[in-house]
Homo-oligomer: A and B are copies of this chain.
């Protein structure tokens, strides 16, 4: 049940992040809803396809779709001061990343994946939605840009897997790991942590 609640937090966060990015790209209301839905459902669909869960869970229960569509519409109507949009996208994106990466790892472990595969599938679940959003809007995916991103997701997945290995209860571990992911992302953005670029002229 905690997993379901977390899943909803992640859906709302990613739907909002996708819708905000689409508003910024001046798409119309349908485009905003489609990008919001795709961003929110993308990671989970990729996860279920990799785990062989058919048809994907998120496509089977209508509440998740209603929540995502509602979030996207709300963002369309009440989108905050335009100047704050970019920061809003980044915060919502960090929340979605943390929740999906950690919940995805737990779901993969429950589905019988090895610890190793579960970490990768969890990371992919977290990264997937945002990557699809950026590809649709023709931006180079956030995951490839300057700040720590995939590494934050992988850290969260690894924490969940480690907790699983020493038999800690899955729920609290997942929440704590998600908080770590969000924290790492926020600090990376705030301190402008940059990774090195290869040297040499273009």
Residues of A within 8 A of B (CB): 22-24, 26-32, 34-35, 45, 49-52, 54-56, 59-62, 65, 76-77, 79, 82, 108, 113-114, 116-117, 120-121, 131, 135-138, 140-141, 143-146, 148-151, 194-198, 200-202
Cβ contact of A197, chosen from B28, B82, B202, cutoff 8 A: B28
Q: Are A144 and B27 also in contact (CB < 8 A) when A51-B54, A120-B59 are?
A: yes
Q: Known: A51-B54, A54-B52. Is A121-B34 also a contact (CB below 8 A)?
A: no
* Measured CA separation A145–B198 after assembly (Å): 27
Inter-subunit contact B30/A149 (CB<8 Å): yes
Q: Which of B51, B108, B144 contacts A136 (CB 8 A)?
A: B144
Contacts of A197 in B (CB 8 A): 26-29
Asked whether B121 lies within 8 Å of A59 as measured between CB atoms, the reply is: yes
Known A28-B195, A30-B150, A49-B50; contact A200-B140, beta-carbon cutoff 8 A: no
Min distance, Cβ A29 to any Cβ of chain B, angstroms: 5
- List the B side residues contacting A138 at CB < 8 Å: 138, 140
